[in-house]
Amino acid sequence: MSASDIIFLIVAVVTVGSAAIVVLSRSLIYSAFSLLFTFFGVAIIYVYLGADFLAGTQVLIYVGGILVLLLFGVMLTHRLYSLNLRTETFQVIPGFLIALAVFISLALVSTRTNWHVVADKPLVPTTDTIGTLFLTEYLLPFEIASILLLVALIGAAMLVRRRADI
């Protein structure tokens, strides 16, 4: 095993382990902060896959945007006098069984299938290609995504205003 393999193994264990804490922890604050490590782990996995722009985007949007939004959601909907925000669970046994069945089937598919793998593509910077593709081949998804962001902005603002303003 080379050094990069060992680092990959550590990153994988941290990612999956903190995702398990997100799901299993009873404290909402612990869940939110474990999600931070999961997002960083996924960003490092993107680096291993040669997706440098996507790793930066992951850190910026997930850690800087989505996680902060989730923390806002936690703090605005609970009275934060102490850090032991307990959350309840229900139907734990069926949920665990379904998750286990999904994992086993996905793991069997991913290990048993004979993938047609192109070996050793060179690691090149992808930002240039992504920018060019977004303005040529993927122009329509790009525009639809911007319209989706506008609609989500208007919708979120409309949902949380006071009822008396209608």
Partner 1 sequence: MITLSHYLLISAALFSLGIMGVLTRKNAVNVLMGIELILNSANINLVAFSRYSSNGIDGQMFAIIVIVVAASEVAVALAMVLTMYRLLRTVNLDQADTLKPTCKVCATSIPN
Site for partner 1 in 50-79 (CB under 8 A): 50-51, 53-54, 57-58, 61-62, 65-66, 69-70, 72-74, 76-78
Residue 107 touches partner 1, criterion: CB under 8 A? yes
- Kindly tell me the burial class for residue 59, based on how many C-beta atoms sit within 10 Å of its own C-beta (0-12, 13-18, 19 or more): middle
Give residue 110's identity as a one-letter amino acid code: S
- Residue from the set 3, 81, 111, 165 that interacts with partner 1 by CB under 8 A: 111
Surface-to-core class of residue 45, CB atoms within 10 Å of its CB (0-12 exposed, 13-18 middle, 19+ buried): middle
CA-based max dimension of the chain = 65
Shortest approach of partner 1 to residue 90 CB, angstroms?
6
Number of residues that bind partner 1 (CB under 8 A): 82
State how far the Cα of 76 lies from the Cα of 161, in Å rounded to an integer: 15
Residue from 10, 80, 84, 99 touching partner 1 (CB under 8 A): that is 99
Least separation, in Å, of the C-beta of 94 and partner 1? Answer: 7
Out of 80, 133, 135, 139, the only residue in the binding site for partner 1 (CB under 8 A) is 133
